Amino acid sequence: MFRKTFAEINLDNLTHNIRVLQKAFPNRFLCPMVKANAYGHGDVKLALHLEKLGIKQLGVCLIEEGLLLRQSGVKVDILVFRGFDAKGAKAILDNNMTAVVSTWDQIEALEQVATKKVSVHVKFDTGMNRLGFRTEEAQKVFDRLNGHAHIEVKALCTHLYIGENALETDQTSAQQLHKLNKVSEVFKSMNVFCHALNSSGILNLLEMEQKGQQDKNHPLYLQNWGLRPGLMIYGYSSLGHPPVASLKPVMNLKSVVNNLREVKAGETVSYGAKWTAKRDSVIAVISIGYGDGYHRLLSNQAHVLFAGHKVPVVGTVCMDYLMVDVTDVVKGDLKLYKDQEVILFGGDLKGHELSADELARQAHTISYEMLTSVGERVPRVYIGKETP
Ligand SMILES: Cc1ncc(COP(=O)(O)O)c(C=O)c1O
């Protein structure tokens, strides 16, 4: 590595987050989502690690993502959530993956290529209006697939679109769960199970369990809803408040000081002269920029961790660099700080933390985007125990 900018991926923290789920829900369908390069963490490495943790299935969006995992030696079931045509159906079946079927066309595509019995999961749209059969079509879908020569329905699923409200019995998540529950009654004779909970749904369920407020009539308890956690396994909460479960961020985005400059009061820093030094200042140039996925919107907004201190990003974020004001931190010979490690988000060994959530707020986005934005030219460096 010539440029010491990298995403440090802590496998121990991933193990911890998965154990939280396995301990709380030992007998549930658990399908960690590793789409979008495992939310930027490196899908192959993480999938292989999750397999070692006893995970039985993984979720991807694209057929291509699933193929990469198979070709890299992942053995567990891979659920492909995005649609497919006949060619895609063949790739899914040839590689022992499981199709999540959302349309009539997809049933036909499978019929064209299936030569033996294949299991599928069927997705119903309970309100998100993105993918899935309408719930009113449940009987028609059942009639089409009941006793089918080649297609066997193993599970039904849906996706919560405001999972944050899953504790409220009169909100959208409750309505969605009731709808899928009703659909599952139509499919009862097929002995199917249902999966519906993303991180928000799961964290709300955990909260209810930890408060000892289990109410068997609550929509979260209508069924043993299967779990499809994404964000939370990477250590972040989607609830907008700290989760009851102790999650550990898996990614530390790190870089180093490229060089330091002393600027005089009144001088400006970076493109467009959007920051002017109010006093004589020391500016550290850091080797990461928007070409690495560090959003330009963070110009003059964010902080980084520099020698355990939060220091402000000053001026416009460039493609390959950003600048921070370290005037209040540096002491003595500036040469001491050459190659100083900098944390863009994550934490250091002394417990100083800078959450991707904080940057997300400043960039008017969500932690999901901060994580998945970390670019291809940022190497992923894995630490922690490979064999749990
Ligand atoms: C179908 C499906 N299930 C589960 C998830 C995981 O969601 P989260 O990362 O909020 O847990 C996603 C992510 O968008 C998804 O598309």
Residue at which a domain ends, from 208, 234, 260: 234
Instruction: Calculate the CA dihedral of residues 176, 223, 192, 127 and round it to 10 degrees.
Output: 0
> Tell me, what amino acid is at 279?
R
By alpha-carbon position, which residue is closest to atom 13 of ligand 1? 230
Confidence at 1, pLDDT banded by 50, 70, 90: confident
Cα 304 to averaged position of ligand 1 atoms, centre (Å): 29
- CA atoms within a 13 Å half-sphere pointing along the CA-CB vector of 60: 24
257 shares a domain with 225: no
R_g (Cα) of the chain, nearest Å: 24
Cα 159 to averaged position of ligand 1 atoms, centre (Å): 7
Which residues, 6 or more positions from 132, have their beta carbon under 8 angstroms from its beta carbon? 102, 123, 124, 125, 126, 158, 159
pLDDT tens string 251-285: 999 999 999 999 999 999 999 999 999 999 999 99
Structural domain span for residue 349:
251-383
260 shares a domain with 188: no
How many domains, in total, are found in the chain? Answer: 2
288 part of a folded domain: yes
Choose one of 18, 30, 31, 33 to mutate for the ligand 1 pocket test, by most ligand atoms within 8 angstroms of C-beta: 33
Cα 200 to averaged position of ligand 1 atoms, centre (Å): 9
Q: Which atom of ligand 1 is nearest to the CA of 231?
A: 9
pLDDT of residue 263: 98
29 part of a folded domain: yes
Q: Which atom of ligand 1 is nearest to the CA of 159?
A: 1
pLDDT at 33 over 90: yes
DSSP H or E run through 177: helix 172-186
CA separation, residue 319 to residues 293, 298, 322, 350 (Å): 9, 13, 8, 30
pLDDT of residue 121: 98
344 part of a folded domain: yes
Cα 198 to averaged position of ligand 1 atoms, centre (Å): 5
pLDDT tens string 96-154: 999 999 999 999 999 999 999 999 999 999 999 999 999 999 999 999 999 999 999 99
How large is the average pLDDT for residues 343-361? 93
pLDDT of residue 211: 84
Cβ pair 318, 290 in contact under 8 A: yes
Q: Which atom of ligand 1 is nearest to the CA of 228?
A: 4
Dihedrals phi, psi of 34, to nearest 5 degrees:
-115, 25
pLDDT tens string 184-198: 999 999 999 999 999
Confidence at 386, pLDDT banded by 50, 70, 90: confident
Specify the pTM: 0.96
pLDDT of residue 285: 98
Mean pLDDT (the chain, rounded):
96
Q: Which atom of ligand 1 is nearest to the CA of 157?
A: 1
Cα 288 to averaged position of ligand 1 atoms, centre (Å): 29
> Tell me, what amino acid is at 237?
S
77 part of a folded domain: yes
Q: What is the CATH number of the domain that holds 360?
A: 2.40.37.10
Pocket around ligand 1: residues whose beta carbon is below 6 Å from it?
A: 33, 81, 159, 198-199, 228-232, 238
pLDDT at 388 over 80: no
Q: Which atom of ligand 1 is nearest to the CA of 39?
A: 9
Beta bridge partners of 120: 99, 153
Q: How far apart, in whole angstroms, are the C-alpha atoms of residue 381 and residue 385?
A: 13
pLDDT of residue 105: 98
Choose one of 80, 198, 369 to mutate for the ligand 1 pocket test, by most ligand atoms within 8 angstroms of C-beta: 198
242 part of a folded domain: no
pLDDT of residue 216: 82
pLDDT of residue 213: 78
Cα 197 to averaged position of ligand 1 atoms, centre (Å): 8
pLDDT at 387 over 80: no
Q: How far apart, in whole angstroms, are the C-alpha atoms of residue 79 and residue 96?
A: 10
123 part of a folded domain: yes
By alpha-carbon position, which residue is closest to atom 14 of ligand 1? 230
Confidence at 296, pLDDT banded by 50, 70, 90: very high
Which residues, 6 or more positions from 134, have their beta carbon under 8 angstroms from its beta carbon? 124, 125
311 shares a domain with 204: no
305 part of a folded domain: yes
pLDDT at 20 over 90: yes
Which residues, 6 or more positions from 357, have their beta carbon under 8 angstroms from its beta carbon? 236, 367
Residue at which a domain ends, from 234, 264, 280: 234
pLDDT tens string 209-245: 888 877 888 999 999 999 999 999 999 998 877 777 8
pLDDT at 348 over 90: no
Q: Which residues are catalytic?
A: 35, 271
224 shares a domain with 256: no
Q: What is the CATH number of the domain that holds 63?
A: 3.20.20.10
pLDDT at 307 over 80: yes
pLDDT tens string 160-169: 999 999 999 9
pLDDT of residue 233: 98
113 shares a domain with 69: yes
240 part of a folded domain: no
300 shares a domain with 176: no
325 shares a domain with 181: no
How large is the average pLDDT for residues 353-371? 96
pLDDT of residue 244: 79
Cβ pair 135, 126 in contact under 8 A: yes
227 shares a domain with 265: no
pLDDT at 26 over 90: yes
pLDDT at 155 over 80: yes
264 shares a domain with 193: no
Please count the other Cβ atoms lying within 10 Å of the Cβ belonging to residue 352.
15
Choose one of 20, 159, 195 to mutate for the ligand 1 pocket test, by most ligand atoms within 8 angstroms of C-beta: 159
